Amino acid sequence: MWVAASLAINLGLLCYFKYTNFLCDFFASLTGGTFTAMDIFLPVGISFFTFQSLSYTIDVYRKEITPLTNLLDYAFYVSFFPQLVAGPIVRARDFIPQIRRPLFVSREMFGRGIFLIVSGLFKKAVISDYISINFVERIFDNPTLYSGVENLMGVYGYALQIYCDFSGYSDMAIGIALLLGFHFNINFDSPYKSASITEFWRRWHISLSSWLRDYLYISLGGNRKGKIRQYANLIITMFLGGLWHGASWNFVFWGMLHGVALAVHKFWMGVTGRKKGERSRGIRRFFGIVITFHFVCFCWIFFRNADFSASLDMLRQIFTTFRPGLFPQLIVGYWEVFALMALGFFLHFVPDSWEHACSKAVVRLPLIGKALLLVAIVYLVIQMKSSEIQPFIYFQF
């Protein structure tokens, strides 16, 4: 009873603040009526802290953690500020045990925290914001004014922008938490290295994808109810995952695309007899990465555009007015943007061992070295910043 009440309250508040106008408008369109949108203030980060609250309720119900007896501990878990407004989504069973132990920040934690803050700030403020303001926004705002090759480069740019924006925030949140003595799990693991859509969702927004898997997909029956039910569960899970991002049909369609792709990949795995977690190698993996990346980019078109007509305009430009001869001129005109895009994708695709080596190097730096590194990155951000403040993309969710 108490579990049902907790779920109803949490989901009820989320639905009221986030989906009231969307649902009323939907039903009005079905019945032919009219609807005037209500002025409902959306609390910042409601999607994230609602899922954290649900995580606590479900973990207690499943006896994976013991109930908290101190209301302040619960409030601290739900409102811990580094990840409050844009994730990562922290599980109760991972975070609450850390509240109960003495806080300690080791030299390794401090160095790792500084490295994550610096790298996150660089990804967000140097790469993501710059390519967004100076190229990506122009293309997406008026796709019909640009050729197909320009639209395609804009889509590639947005793929890098949203990755650097969101993973940059996650890195900074994890880094700040480390400086305060708390450990968060990683939220991104070089997702564009994925050779399948299933692998992509093991690497992209890991805290959300694992939450949907453990609390929604498995609760729906997972893969225990037969193949057809398994495919349906994947599509339903991703449909709701898309709706979680926002009360808009473009997010719903984006989620459905990924759900269908996951179901198709699961079916293909069964046909070919490949085992779960088995990775392709060599040329097969290379083509898998290329295909997966372009499918994800295709889906980003619908995620980024507010309406279908703009998405269709962009796709029409790409497939009917490509004009590859403009590419050299495009590179010359936007050389700073493409240099940053090349740098961003290079840093994304470097071996994981390189990142670990850089992290260890920062850990070994003396305190003055860490301070100088942070100052250097802040100076670089100031030099490259625009006159407009660019909020994090996931702040809207």
pLDDT at residue 390 is higher than 80: no
**Helix or strand run (H / E) with residue 319:** helix 308-320
In the chain, how long is the greatest CA-to-CA distance? Answer: 68
Count the alpha carbons within 13 Å of 340 in the hemisphere toward its beta carbon. 24
Of 67, 70, 63, 89, give the one whose Cα is nearest residue 78.
Answer: 89
What percent of the chain shows pLDDT beyond 90?
Answer: 34
- Dist. CA 23–CA 31, nearest whole Å: 12
Query: Does 140 lie in the same domain as 50?
Result: no
Q: From the CB of residue 393, how many other CB atoms can be counted at a distance below 10 Å?
A: 20
Backbone angles phi, psi at 147, to 5 degrees: -70, 170
Tell me the mean pLDDT in the region 331-359: 89
Tell me the mean pLDDT in the region 301-306: 91
Query: Does 382 lie in the same domain as 285?
Result: yes
Structural domain of 83: 2-99
- Dist. CA 150–CA 135, nearest whole Å: 9
Query: Does 141 lie in the same domain as 50?
Result: no
Burial 262-284 (b: 16+ CB within 10 A, else e): bbebbeeeeeeeeeeeeeeeeee
In order of 151, 179, 218, 318, the CA distances from 315 in angstroms are 8, 45, 36, 5
C-beta of residue 302 within 8 angstroms of C-beta of residue 250: yes
C-beta of residue 289 within 8 angstroms of C-beta of residue 248: no
pLDDT at residue 25 is higher than 80: no
Query: Does 290 lie in the same domain as 151?
Result: yes
Where among 75, 99, 123 does a domain terminate? 99
The reported pLDDT for the residue numbered 85 is 66
Burial 324-355 (b: 16+ CB within 10 A, else e): eebeeebeeebeebbebbeebbebbeeeeeee
Between 376 and 192, the more confident residue is 192
The reported pLDDT for the residue numbered 317 is 92
Number of domains in the chain: 2
pLDDT at residue 281 is higher than 80: no
**Number of residues that make up the chain:** 397
Query: Does 284 lie in the same domain as 184?
Result: yes
Query: Does 139 lie in the same domain as 91?
Result: no
The reported pLDDT for the residue numbered 37 is 63
Query: Does 75 lie in the same domain as 30?
Result: yes
**pLDDT band for position 234 (cuts 50, 70, 90):** very high
Query: Does 86 lie in the same domain as 119?
Result: no
The active-site residue out of 205, 245, 294, 348 is 245
In order of 167, 197, 334, 379, 387, the CA distances from 125 in angstroms are 12, 28, 18, 11, 12
- Dist. CA 170–CA 370, nearest whole Å: 20
Q: Is 62 a domain residue?
A: yes
Over residues 363-379, the pLDDT tens digits come to 888 888 888 888 888 88
Where among 37, 64, 99 does a domain terminate? 99
Of 380, 300, 289, give the one whose Cα is nearest residue 343.
Answer: 380
Tell me the mean pLDDT in the region 14-30: 72
pLDDT at residue 387 is higher than 60: no
Q: Is 353 a domain residue?
A: yes
Query: Does 70 lie in the same domain as 38?
Result: yes
Share in percent of the chain as helix, strand, coil (round to 5): 75, 0, 25
- Dist. CA 338–CA 131, nearest whole Å: 8
Where among 99, 117, 138 does a domain terminate? 99
Q: Is 374 a domain residue?
A: yes
- Dist. CA 373–CA 171, nearest whole Å: 16
The reported pLDDT for the residue numbered 358 is 84
C-beta of residue 213 within 8 angstroms of C-beta of residue 276: no
In order of 13, 138, 258, 314, 372, the CA distances from 151 in angstroms are 39, 10, 22, 6, 40
Mean pLDDT of the chain: 85
Give ∠ CA 91-97-101 in degrees, rounded to 5. Answer: 145
Query: Does 184 lie in the same domain as 58?
Result: no
Indicate if 245 belongs to the active site: yes
The reported pLDDT for the residue numbered 339 is 93
Tokens 């009231």 map to which residue? 20
Over residues 202-224, the pLDDT tens digits come to 999 999 999 899 888 888 887 77
